[in-house]
Amino acid sequence: MADKDKKEIDKISGVETTGHEWDGLKELNNPLPRWWVWVWLVCILWAVWYWVLYPAWPVPGGATEGTKGYTQFKELAQSQKEILARQQEYLDKFENASFDQIMNDQELYAFAMAGGASAFKDNCATCHGSGAEGSKGYPNLNDDDWLWGGKLSDIYYTIKYGIRSVDEQTRISQMPAFGKDGFLDRKEIDAVVSYVLALSGSVGDHGEVEDYSLGKKVFAQNCATCHGDNGQGNREFGAPNLSDKIWLYGGKREDIFYTVYNSRAGVMPTWKNRLDENTIKELAVYVHQLGGGEDENYDMSSQVDKEKVADDAKQEQPQSTKE
């Protein structure tokens, strides 16, 4: 009995064993370091304290709220308080400011550019691209080619009410599907496509001389009312300039043929129910300053350093299509 109770001592380390052995390996009975035990106990106490103060224990419908009433939403609101307060200072001025005042006030202009750049990435970049360079069917907003006008008031109206949107005040234009609806036959469409290509000086197959003459006649009878006698467009109708080699849906012969035959009807949504008035104004200023904005009798000789502010708001902006 005495031999059984006697503790075995490891010959190499001189440490008592626990009596457990696996494949000839014996477990030594080394106690945990005292400091480690104290840290472990403190962690347990800290965990209990944390469970009491903060949301911790899962319960049906969420977790215990804790005596401190902490939530991440409250923390976010608190951290944003200062930012919102600073922003409100500008919003109070910006809300009642005209475009003329915004364009000639350094702080309001910078505020509009920063807000517009942010809103553009969130709402417009999906179609127009992160650099506003556009793509087939989506206008490039960096050039100076506009369907409905490039003044601040024009851009503001387009953003607010959209193009062919559901809003009653939307911009709307409708080019007939000349081939699909039987207004022109295949020969007449081929001829007018050749003429349109010639208007922009495009090099390529423009057809025979008689086709060109026929195309000119067809254009005068069916297209000139909206696009003008020389194909230079009409912003009142949203009719694009056909003489500048800038194409929204492509400038190849097959692209233009498809447009004449089937028509196009791109849609831009109205943003007045999705964005507040200030954000729409900010977007109008931002888009106007991308590179193609037109003057609207503003005092552009003011001291506002627009180029520097614009560079800060946008990093890189490519080139070319139609709005």
Q: Which pLDDT score, from 0 to 100, does residue 312 have?
A: 55
- What tokens appear for 6 in the block? 């006697």
Instruction: Of 5-9, 20-24, 92-96, give the range with the top mean pLDDT.
Output: 92-96
> Stretch 179-195: mean pLDDT, rounded?
95
Q: Does residue 197 register a pLDDT over 60?
A: yes
pLDDT digits (tens, 9 = 90+) for 84-101: 888 888 888 898 899 999
CA-nearest of 287, 267, 268 to 160 is: 268
Residue 111 CA, chain-centre distance (Å), reads: 18
Q: By mean pLDDT, which of 88-102, 157-171, 175-189, 277-291 is the weakest?
A: 88-102
C-alpha–C-alpha distance, residues 8 and 27, integer Å: 11
Q: Does residue 155 register a pLDDT over 70?
A: yes
Q: Could you count the other beta carbons within 10 Å of the beta carbon of residue 16? A: 13
Q: Could you count the other beta carbons within 10 Å of the beta carbon of residue 151? A: 19
Of the chain, the end-to-end C-alpha distance in Å amounts to: 100
Kindly report the CA angle at 96 between 91 and 99, in degrees rounded to 5?
Answer: 100
> Stretch 11-39: mean pLDDT, rounded?
87
pLDDT digits (tens, 9 = 90+) for 259-315: 999 999 999 999 999 999 999 999 999 999 998 889 875 443 343 454 554 555 544
pLDDT digits (tens, 9 = 90+) for 31-57: 889 999 999 999 999 999 988 888 877
- In order of 7, 10, 83, the CA distances from 64 in angstroms are 50, 51, 31
pLDDT-derived band at 320 (thresholds 50, 70, 90) equals: very low
Q: Within 13 Å and on the Cβ side, how many CA atoms surround 170?
A: 17
Q: Does residue 5 register a pLDDT over 80?
A: no
**DSSP 8-state secondary structure symbol assigned to residue 296:** -
**DSSP 8-state secondary structure symbol assigned to residue 132:** S
Q: Which pLDDT score, from 0 to 100, does residue 195 have?
A: 94
The answer to whether the CB of 94 falls within 8 A of the CB of 278 is yes
Q: By mean pLDDT, which of 166-175, 178-187, 203-212 is the weakest?
A: 203-212
Query: Domains in the chain, ordered, with CATH?
Result: 2-63 (no CATH), 84-170+268-295+303-313 (1.10.760.10), 186-262 (1.10.760.10)
Comparison of pLDDT for 40 and 24, the residue scoring more: 40
By the 10 Å C-beta count (0-12 exposed, 13-18 middle, 19+ buried), 250 is classed as middle
